[in-house]
């Protein structure tokens, strides 16, 4: 978590952009991302050059002696951050706009970088030389502080703090699922170093980042000390798709700043025939966009076989089932309507999960979790793809608190059900004796079938009403009369005081 001087420096950097007229948080982060990439390119190139020199291996720098920008030949050293960051503001701006930015846009042929794949349509939007100069100085200060910290993941923390600005600024908040909710879902799924993880609507790659952090915390030595595990973690494990190229750039950078060298972050319409992944992934973690309806023509025919619908929330569930390999697991956020919707398509997708696969858990979340951006109630579905059933008892949990207030402020509070959810999920066998009046309990598959595959917790939860006894009506009326007499007495005393005051003024 970013605190202290680094946090203050980032806030000051944000203010530089605002003062320069760049106020859209997504655009600000994108411009910072470009500059971080440019700086990291220089640092990584110097590091590779030194390592190659030590090993006696030939190495060709990306900043070769002469770099072709269009039809112009440029001295490559002029494009290095370590060179131009000391130039006067106007010279910096000229080099960045005319040389450096076009240079990083032609690096898309470098297949080793997920980020550089999506630079073709990148636009340099920093408005003036003065703003650019201040931004470069601020980034140098931030990196200097980062180099001094002992945190293992300071670069990732810094980038996560930048991304939190999207939400706090109140724009494009839909791109960010609350970090603590993602962390809870990852811990519930408990991934291992052998997983192949996918988020088909990855946005800023929040689920993939948290999964990578969790794996590094729990299996650091197994990953770093085992060549096969390390290669899998760095190059194959994490897969994310999105249709917004800005999100792809930011998401790829987010993964790389968290230590994943080459995440598979791709431009793809996950719901279309463009997505051919089938029986591939061992784990899906997602909070896909629920933006309404699509045309049948734009949806993969395979998905329509499971549930013929135009609603994205149902199509994504069908997609998750298709993309998972047998034995693969999914934890995804869905709007409450998915759990109890009465349409034929709603019932079909729930039936597919319950009858044809293994539904494990339904966690109902309070409506304030996504405030201030949306007040919609949501739930978490956890299931395993089997292709031949396996649902026995389904665990329901009624989350009432997540550690933050459920109003628009979302201020930290002491109450949180998350630790209880994690503990109980690890010991589902102990939930058998729980009553329907409690916060969590198990429900037999047959009961769910008998209720038209309704998965809303209110369908099964029993509410105990406490009997409240009120005093007799005559006693209540007597109390009201006593209060009225007291009010009349006080009013009389007040009038007397006011009259005495008037008499003194007339004298």
Do both 312 and 423 map to the same domain?
yes
| Same structural domain, 186 and 149 | no
Output the pTM of the full model: 0.80
| Same domain? 408 vs 488 | no
Q: Where among 163, 198, 232 does a domain terminate?
A: 163
The position carrying tokens 């950078």 is: 253
Question: Backbone phi, then psi, for 404, in 5-degree steps?
Answer: -135, 150
CA dihedral 114, 116, 120, 125 (to 10 degrees): 120
Instruction: Give yes or no: residues 53 and 181 share one domain.
Output: no
Pairwise CA distance, residues 72 & 70, whole Å: 6
C-alpha distance from residue 295 to each of 308, 309, 406 (Å): 11, 9, 35
CA distance 317 to 338: 10
Rounded CA separation 418/469 (Å): 36
HSE-up of 214 (CA within 13 Å, CB side)? Answer: 23
Give yes or no for a cis peptide into 116 (omega within 30° of 0): no
CA distance 135 to 19: 12
Alpha-carbon span 252 to 65, nearest angstrom: 29
Residue that the structure tokens 């991304």 belong to: 163
With H, G, I as helix, E, B as strand and everything else as coil, classify residue 297. Answer: helix
Say how far apart CA 285 and CA 274 lie, in whole Å. Answer: 20
Domain that holds residue 41: 4-163
Co-location of 90 and 180 in the same domain: no
Which of the pair, 301 or 364, is modelled with greater confidence?
364
What is the residue-averaged pLDDT of the chain?
A: 87
Q: Is 67 helix (H, G, I), strand (E, B) or coil?
A: strand
Q: Are residues 368 and 491 in the same domain?
A: no
Does residue 119 carry a pLDDT above 80?
Answer: no
**Sign of the C-alpha dihedral computed for residues 331, 333, 336 and 337 taken in this order:** negative
**Residues near 222 by beta carbon (within 8 Å), at least 6 away in sequence:** 193, 229
Let me know whether 103 and 209 are in one domain.
no
pLDDT for 162: 84
Q: Please compute the mean of the pLDDT values over residues 204-211 and round it to a whole number.
A: 92
CA count, 13 A, side-chain hemisphere, 374 = 15
Asked if 203 contacts 247 with a C-beta cutoff of 8 angstroms, the reply is yes
The torsion defined by the Cα of 226, 233, 282 and 302, in degrees rounded to 10, comes to -140
Q: What is the pLDDT of residue 152?
A: 57
pLDDT digits (tens, 9 = 90+) for 379-421: 999 999 999 999 999 999 999 999 999 988 888 899 999 999 9
pLDDT tens-digit series, residues 213-223: 999 999 999 99
What pLDDT score does 497 carry? 83
Answer with the one of 108, 129, 163 that is the final residue of a domain: 163
| Distance separating alpha carbons of residues 320 and 307, to the nearest angstrom | 13
- The number of folded domains in the chain is 3
For residue 495, the tally of other CB atoms under 10 A from its CB is 10
- pLDDT of 169 > 60? The answer is no
Whether the Cβ atoms of residue 45 and residue 62 lie closer than 8 Å to each other: yes
- Are residue 377 and residue 400 in the same domain, yes or no? yes
CA distance 121 to 143: 27
- Of 163, 190, 221, which closes a domain? 163
Other CB atoms closer than 10 Å to residue 337's CB: what's the count?
A: 18
Give the CA distances from residue 417 to residues 370, 375, 402, in Å, rounded to whole numbers and listed in that order: 16, 19, 6
DSSP string, 336-399: HHHHH--SHHHHHHHHHHHHSSEEEEEEEE-GGGGTTT----EEEEEEE--SS----EEEEEE-
Q: Tell me if residue 35 falls in helix, strand or coil.
A: helix
Question: Within this chain, do residues 373 and 411 fall inside the same structural domain, yes or no?
Answer: yes
Tokens of 255: 């993964």
Distance CA 113, CA 41 (A): 10
Res 426: pLDDT: 96
pLDDT digits (tens, 9 = 90+) for 314-362: 999 999 999 999 999 999 999 999 999 999 999 999 999 999 999 999 9
Residue 323 makes CB contacts below 8 A (sequence gap 6+) with 198, 200, 275, 277, 278, 279, 280, 281, 284
Please indicate, yes or no, whether residues 225 and 360 belong to a single structural domain of this protein: yes
- Check whether residue 50 and residue 92 sit in a common domain: yes
Q: How many residues does the chain have?
A: 507
CATH of the domain at 247: 3.40.50.150
How is residue 240 written in tokens?
């994310």
With contact defined as beta carbons under 8 Å apart, do 464 and 437 qualify? yes
- Residues 291 and 271 both lie in one domain: yes
β-bridge mates for residue 358, sequence order: 384
Helix/strand/coil for 190: coil
66 versus 231: the higher-pLDDT residue is 231
Residue pLDDT, tens place only, 449-489: 999 999 999 999 987 767 777 888 888 899 899 999 999 99
Residue 201, CA distances (Å) to 1, 43, 283 in order? 25, 31, 14
Three-state DSSP at 227 gives: helix
CB 214 within 8 A of CB 191: yes
**Cα Rg of the chain, angstroms:** 29
């Amino acid at each position: 978590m970013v605190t202290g001087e680094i946090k203050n420096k980032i806030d000051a950097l944000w203010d530089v952009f605002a003062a320069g007229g760049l106020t859209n948080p997504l655009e600000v982060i994108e411009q910072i991302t470009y500059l971080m990439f440019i700086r990291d390119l220089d640092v990584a190139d110097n590091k590779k050059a030194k390592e190659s020199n030590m090993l006696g291996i030939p190495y060709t720098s990306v900043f070769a002696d002469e770099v072709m920008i269009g039809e112009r030949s440029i001295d490559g050293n002029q494009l290095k951050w370590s060179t131009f960051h000391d130039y006067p503001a106007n010279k910096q701006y000229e080099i960045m706009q005319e040389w450096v930015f076009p240079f990083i846009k032609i690096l898309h042929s470098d297949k080793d970088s997920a980020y550089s794949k999506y630079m073709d349509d990148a636009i340099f939007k920093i408005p003036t030389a003065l703003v650019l100069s201040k931004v470069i100085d601020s980034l140098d200060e931030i990196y200097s502080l980062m180099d001094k910290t002992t945190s293992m993941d300071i670069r990732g923390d810094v980038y996560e703090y930048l991304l939190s600005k999207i939400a706090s600024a109140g724009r494009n908040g839909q791109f960010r699922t609350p970090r603590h909710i993602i962390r809870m879902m990852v811990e519930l799924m408990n991934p291992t170093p052998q997983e192949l993880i996918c988020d088909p609507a990855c946005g800023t790659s929040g689920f993939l980042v948290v999964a990578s952090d969790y794996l590094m915390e729990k299996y650091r030595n197994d990953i770093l000390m085992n060549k096969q595990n390390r290669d899998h973690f760095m190059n194959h494990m994490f897969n994310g798709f999105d249709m917004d190229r800005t999100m792809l750039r930011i998401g790829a950078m987010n993964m790389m700043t968290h230590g994943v060298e080459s995440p598979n972050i791709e431009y793809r319409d996950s719901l279309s025939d463009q997505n051919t992944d089938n029986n591939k992934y061992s784990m899906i973690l997602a909070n896909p966009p629920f933006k309404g309806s699509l045309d049948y023509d734009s949806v993969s025919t395979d998905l329509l076989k499971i549930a013929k619908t135009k609603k994205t929330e149902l199509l994504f569930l069908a997609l998750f089932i298709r993309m998972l390999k047998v034995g693969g697991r999914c934890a995804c956020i869905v709007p409450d309507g998915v759990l109890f919707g009465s349409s034929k398509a709603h019932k079909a997708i729930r039936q597919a999960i319950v009858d044809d696969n293994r539904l494990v858990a339904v966690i109902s979340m309070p409506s304030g979790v996504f405030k201030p951006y949306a007040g919609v109630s949501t739930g978490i579905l956890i299931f395993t793809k089997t292709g031949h059933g396996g649902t026995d008892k389904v665990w329901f949990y009624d989350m009432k608190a997540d550690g933050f207030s459920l109003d628009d402020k979302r201020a930290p509070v002491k109450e949180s059900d998350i630790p209880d959810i994690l503990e109980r999920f690890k010991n589902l066998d102990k939930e058998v004796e729980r009553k329907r009046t409690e916060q969590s309990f198990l429900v037999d598959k047959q009961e769910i079938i008998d209720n038209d595959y309704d998965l809303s917790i209110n369908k099964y939860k029993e509410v105990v009403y406490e009997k409240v006894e009120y005093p007799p009506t005559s006693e209540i009326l007597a109390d009201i009369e006593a209060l009225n007499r007291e009010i009349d007495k006080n009013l009389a005393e007040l009038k007397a005081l006011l009259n005495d005051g008037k008499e003194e003024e007339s004298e």
